[in-house]
Amino acid sequence: MRKINEECGIFGIISPEPLQAAGYAASAMLALQHRGQEGAGIATFYSDDTLICHKNVGLVNDVFRDFLRHVPCTNVAVGHVRYSTTGNNTVENTQPIETVHSRLTCALAHNGNITNAAELRGQMVNRGGKVFHTTNDTEIINMLLIDEMIKCRNLEQATFNVMNILEGAFSLVIATPDKIVAARDKCGFRPLCMGKLGKATVFASESCAFDCIGADFVRDIEPGELISIDRSGKEKILKQKDTSCRGLCVFEMIYIARSDSFIDGLSVYNARLEMGRMLARQKPTKADFVCGVPDSGLDAALGYSLESGIPFAPAFVKNRYMGRSFIEPSQQVRERTVNAKLNPLRAQIEGKSIILVDDSIVRGTTSERMIKPLRDMGVKEVHLRISSPPFKHPCYFGTDIDSAENLIANHMTVDEICQKIGADSLEYLDMDNLTEIGAKKGIKFCTGCFTGKYPIEVSGGDKHKFDDN
Ligand code: SF4
């Protein structure tokens, strides 16, 4: 079934004393597994300066099982989980990306999408005869870093110079044998935060990774900010002056991030509850129960229930043993296995009217396939409520939203969509309500995929030229 796919997840750790840096990275990557299930990698440094990077396609537990048995205590590690948009899910494209050069030995993990990647790559190939080993835009960052290190021989300044060259979305963690640099693009599209684990400093895409390794959250990295920490714990900060394009991806709040994370001071769980409450206020509807589509619709459904006073109840039982990489072998089998992942809970819903809350509608086929079995099991009424506005535009900043022509809201009215998916009524969350959730905490969201207005102009244009990270 077509849903929006997640982002990548990144993590870094640096400690004055050797510790199980790779082990912590693996645990953190497991906590960030929801951001990417196609590949994972960890890089660390043995004997002070030997870079070891272990990465492969697959889930965290599979990729690192053997590696962790043999890896010694080290001071620095960086990790990555990856989601790719199309067929290029190869080990070459997994991260961290390593650089071993006379001026720079490092491992880099990137979450986001560089919108001027094609242009930069063309310039580098033509000008300097650079050879690229991946189809991944992250390698461009490594190449630029080497160029800047040759010029200024200072990792912080070199990374800062690269931040000024790159356009688009990037949260970065760069590890060298004695330092970690973390940086976030000037719009702050993707999250990145810093924590403390004893004397060690940690960085992660989401704060849930800190909870899972016993680290304390310290703060978010600000848009346009670079922070470096060396082994002694010494901190250096550089900030880009113009961050007026601020725009945290609102889809992090709607769907991508874990509910137990806080991003830029806002609890993802509370944001989702509020989305549900707003939906309930937007269009009060009578029903026996409020149900959420597992897992992404559950928090908003609870919010709807709390606001409306209509009891919250499960509508589906989820098969916990079907991985996200489940491959549906043929159309015929696909048709027969639509309920393999979510099966309606007949005892709860038969003869009842329900308000069903989901996070988004992409092509409409998922909603249609979800509502039909509910009807088959005797549900009286299904009122579908969506905790986001209608998708109408592509994303250039690293979220795998379908092309505009495949987005159902682009060629059907809300009433037509409602009829097509077989719901009794359909309501999307208003854009003003969505942005208000961020505004209350001083957060400006990117809402480009709903409005077509992006925080920055997209010069590259073709989001599929490189793999998203
Ligand atoms: S266009 Fe949509 S998915 Fe992409 S960064 Fe903006 S809000 Fe997020």
Looking at ligand 1, which atom is closest to the CA of residue 447?
7
CB distance 387 to ligand 1 below 6 Å: no
pLDDT at 29: 97
pLDDT digits (tens, 9 = 90+) for 337-387: 556 788 999 999 999 999 999 999 998 988 998 999 999 999 999 999 999
**117 vs 427, higher pLDDT:** 427
Nearest alpha carbon, ligand 1 atom 4: 395
Helix (H, G, I), strand (E, B) or coil at 291: strand
- Whether residue 261 is predicted with pLDDT greater than 60 in this model: the reply is yes
Confidence at 468, pLDDT banded by 50, 70, 90: very low
pLDDT at 333: 58
pLDDT at 87: 40
How far apart, in whole angstroms, are the C-alpha atoms of residue 289 and residue 356? 9
Give the least confident one: 86-95, 110-119, 258-267: 86-95
Confidence at 403, pLDDT banded by 50, 70, 90: confident
Global pTM reads 0.93
- Whether residue 405 is predicted with pLDDT greater than 70 in this model: the reply is yes
pLDDT digits (tens, 9 = 90+) for 284-294: 999 999 999 99
- Whether residue 464 is predicted with pLDDT greater than 70 in this model: the reply is no
Tallying the residues shown for the chain, one arrives at 469
Mean pLDDT for the stretch of residues 161-185: 97
pLDDT at 281: 98
How far apart, in whole angstroms, are the C-alpha atoms of residue 359 and residue 179? 39
The token duo for 5 is 């796919």
Mean pLDDT for the stretch of residues 252-276: 97
In the set 8, 106, 208, 395, the catalytic residue is 8
CB distance 446 to ligand 1 below 6 Å: yes
Mean pLDDT for the stretch of residues 61-68: 92
Average pLDDT, the chain: 90
Mean pLDDT for the stretch of residues 232-252: 96
Mean pLDDT for the stretch of residues 301-315: 98
Alpha helices in 236-378 (DSSP H): 250-251, 268-282, 298-308, 331-336, 346-349, 365-376
- Whether residue 326 is predicted with pLDDT greater than 60 in this model: the reply is no
Radius of gyration of the chain (CA): 23
Q: Tell me how far the alpha carbon of residue 251 lies from the centroid of ligand 1, in angstroms.
A: 6
Active-site annotation holds for 73:
no
**Kind and range of the H or E run holding 443:** none
pLDDT digits (tens, 9 = 90+) for 5-49: 557 999 999 999 999 999 999 999 999 999 999 999 999 998 768
Q: Tell me how far the alpha carbon of residue 395 lies from the centroid of ligand 1, in angstroms.
A: 5
Q: Which DSSP string corresponds to 365-423?
A: HHHHHHHHHHHHTT-SEEEEEESSPPP-S--SSS-BPPPGGG-GGGTS-HHHHHHHHT-
The token duo for 13 is 């750790």
How far apart, in whole angstroms, are the C-alpha atoms of residue 228 and residue 221? 11
Q: Tell me how far the alpha carbon of residue 189 lies from the centroid of ligand 1, in angstroms.
A: 8
